[in-house]
Amino acid sequence: MLTIAGSSMKPRTGKQMRELGIIRDGALAIREGKIVAVGKTQDVTKAFRGNYVLSAKGKTVLPGFVDPHTHLVFAGSREDEFEMYVEGASFMELLNSSDAILKTTRETRRTRLEKLVELGLERLDTMLAHGTTTVETKSGYGLNVEDELKILKAAKRINQLHCMNVVSTFMGAHAVPTEYKQSPDEYIDLITEEIMPRVAESGLAEFCDVFCDRGIFNTEQAKRILKCAKNLSLKQKIHADQMNRLGGAEIAADIGATSADHLNFSSAEGIKAMTQKGVIGVVLPAAVFSLMMNRYADARLMIDSGVPVALGTDFNAGNWILNMQLSIAMACHFMRMTPAEAITAATINAAHAICRGNEVGSLEVGKRADITVLNVPNHKFLGYSFSVNLVEKVIANGRLVVDREKQDEPVFLSKTE
Ligand code: ZN
């Protein structure tokens, strides 16, 4: 059992990221959705008698994954664009021809809230089946007052209906909408003067995020957005240095953002500044993989410099990944994170990246009983085995919500019959 205990107040950094708090022959007790005991099986069973006992003998038990960066709520899909990437197109080429984010925006604007809720719930079911129990989601496919609020309301409804925990981020600054193409600063005015105040007042979002990159929002515009967020008491995040080195990591450190995400092109100085300010670096290798960019964030430099590194999927219409196990595999293969570091990044550090470090991300007394059971003998199978779902059971809020133990039994057909 991997408890990853002891970092509820602060994310793990450096060598601590390799410490998983492993208890061999461990057990835990749950009451009313919360963990009430964690320890050796013989100690826990001496103190507690359960009404319902689950065995995980020979399996690996760990905290439910926390996905700290997704764009869950949108309509449509972009598989046609994927083919264009295969043939050499770039994200910016597609965005400039009103595809990519702008295509999904058109489709999302046309879609009713109820339908967006339905789509979001389905996607969460898949994430849950792969071991994720908490997820952050961003708006940003509305890009006007009405549709941004619609997406955030859908996220709220999804959180009420689903057993997974959903944390909401406002990201009106995801792209410049077509109608403001000639006057992007006016769109920033709209966000700061109208949309963000409405969002803050509604309580529909806890964070504000901005896509700072060449051809999207420049550093001045990003700073305006994040300063406005700060004034309105929305915590700050930034899509930083994803496709170019623009100084996104430095901005995150300057403003004191909770996290800076992507960081594929960040400078050593930017990373140092993040370390000094305790900004969490959220790495998203699947986004690099989907866009076929071949440049991953320098997670080794970040870990060695003391940046608390978290890991997410960045699920969105252009990066269709719902499985944190695959993010872990990519972090190991492409970014040379060890399985233990990637697991820490996908649990406790991811929880801190969305300010939930005291509620989820580790197996400790008082935390929500969000637990994933993998059908593998130890944690090193994460990253090593990446082609099938390793999850056997998921417990969310103390309830068994996924049980694949029986369902997957193969049917053997005899050759002679
Ligand atoms: Zn993103």
- pLDDT tens-digit map of 390-402: 999 999 999 999 9
The secondary structure element, H or E, covering residue 208 is strand 207-212
How confident is residue 409, by pLDDT bands cut at 50, 70 and 90?
A: low
Q: How many Å lie between the centroid of ligand 1 and the Cα of residue 129?
A: 22
Beta strands in 100-152 (DSSP E): 132-138
> How confident is the prediction for the chain on average, in pLDDT?
96
Give the separation between CA 84 and CA 303, rounded to whole angstroms. 35
Average pLDDT value for residue range 346-370: 98
DSSP letter string, 154-206 = HHHHHHHHSSSEEEEEEEEETS--GGGTT-HHHHHHHIIIIIHHHHHHHT--S
Residue 184 in this model has a pLDDT that exceeds 60: yes
Domains defined along the chain, listed by start:
14-63+361-403 (2.30.40.10), 65-353 (3.20.20.140)
Give me the pLDDT at residue 98, please.
86
Instruction: State pLDDT tens for residues 214-250.
Output: 999 999 999 999 999 999 999 999 999 999 999 999 9
Q: How many Å lie between the centroid of ligand 1 and the Cα of residue 102?
A: 14
Give the separation between CA 344 and CA 396, rounded to whole angstroms. 19
Neighbouring C-beta atoms of residue 355, cutoff 10 Å:
17
Give the separation between CA 108 and CA 87, rounded to whole angstroms. 27
Residue 30: which residues within 8 A CB-CB, separation 6 or more?
36, 369, 395, 398
Cα angle at 136 between 67 and 98, to 5 degrees? 105
Q: Is the dihedral of CA 219, 221, 224, 229 positive or negative?
A: negative
Residue 97: which residues within 8 A CB-CB, separation 6 or more?
none
Identify whether the C-beta of residue 132 lies closer than 8 Å to the C-beta of residue 370.
no
Q: How many Å lie between the centroid of ligand 1 and the Cα of residue 366?
A: 31
Q: How many Å lie between the centroid of ligand 1 and the Cα of residue 303?
A: 21
Beta strands in 348-398 (DSSP E): 371-374, 391-396
Q: How many Å lie between the centroid of ligand 1 and the Cα of residue 78?
A: 15
Average pLDDT value for residue range 348-352: 98
Give the separation between CA 281 and CA 347, rounded to whole angstroms. 14
Give me the pLDDT at residue 97, please.
86
Task: Tell me phi and psi for residue 309, to 5 degrees.
Answer: -100, 130
Residue 164 in this model has a pLDDT that exceeds 80: yes
Instruction: State pLDDT tens for residues 43-71.
Output: 999 999 989 999 999 999 999 999 999 99
Location of structure tokens 């056997």: 392
Average pLDDT value for residue range 276-301: 97
Of the given ranges (92-96, 315-319, 399-403), which has the lowest mean pLDDT? 92-96
Instruction: State pLDDT tens for residues 185-201.
Output: 999 999 999 999 999 99
Q: How many Å lie between the centroid of ligand 1 and the Cα of residue 212?
A: 11
Q: How many Å lie between the centroid of ligand 1 and the Cα of residue 314?
A: 5
Give the separation between CA 187 and CA 196, rounded to whole angstroms. 12
Top pLDDT among 276 and 92 is at 276
Helix (H, G, I), strand (E, B), or coil: what is residue 351? helix
Q: How many Å lie between the centroid of ligand 1 and the Cα of residue 44?
A: 41
Identify whether the C-beta of residue 354 lies closer than 8 Å to the C-beta of residue 66.
yes
Q: Is the dihedral of CA 73, 79, 81, 85 positive or negative?
A: positive
Give the separation between CA 268 and CA 373, rounded to whole angstroms. 38
Torsion on CA atoms 20, 21, 26, 30, rounded to nearest 10: -90
Residue 417 in this model has a pLDDT that exceeds 60: no
Separation of first and last alpha carbons in the chain: 44
With pLDDT > 90 as the criterion, what percentage of the chain qualifies?
Answer: 94
With pLDDT > 70 as the criterion, what percentage of the chain qualifies?
Answer: 97
Q: Which of 4, 73, 23 is nearest to 352 (CA)?
A: 4
Instruction: State pLDDT tens for residues 250-260.
Output: 999 999 999 99
Q: How many Å lie between the centroid of ligand 1 and the Cα of residue 79?
A: 18
Q: Which of 216, 206, 111, 195 is nearest to 154 (CA)?
A: 111
Give me the pLDDT at residue 407, please.
62
Give the separation between CA 265 and CA 262, rounded to whole angstroms. 8
Average pLDDT value for residue range 120-124: 98
Q: How many Å lie between the centroid of ligand 1 and the Cα of residue 141?
A: 12
Residue 415 in this model has a pLDDT that exceeds 90: no
Q: How many Å lie between the centroid of ligand 1 and the Cα of residue 372?
A: 25
Instruction: State pLDDT tens for residues 128-160.
Output: 999 999 999 999 999 999 999 999 999 999 999
Is this structure's pTM higher than 0.75?
A: yes
How confident is residue 408, by pLDDT bands cut at 50, 70 and 90?
A: low
Q: How many Å lie between the centroid of ligand 1 and the Cα of residue 185?
A: 22
How confident is residue 410, by pLDDT bands cut at 50, 70 and 90?
A: low
HSE, side-chain direction, 13 A CA sphere, residue 17: 27
How confident is residue 411, by pLDDT bands cut at 50, 70 and 90?
A: low
Q: How many Å lie between the centroid of ligand 1 and the Cα of residue 287?
A: 8
Average pLDDT value for residue range 172-193: 97
Q: How many Å lie between the centroid of ligand 1 and the Cα of residue 239?
A: 7
Strand partners, 37: 29
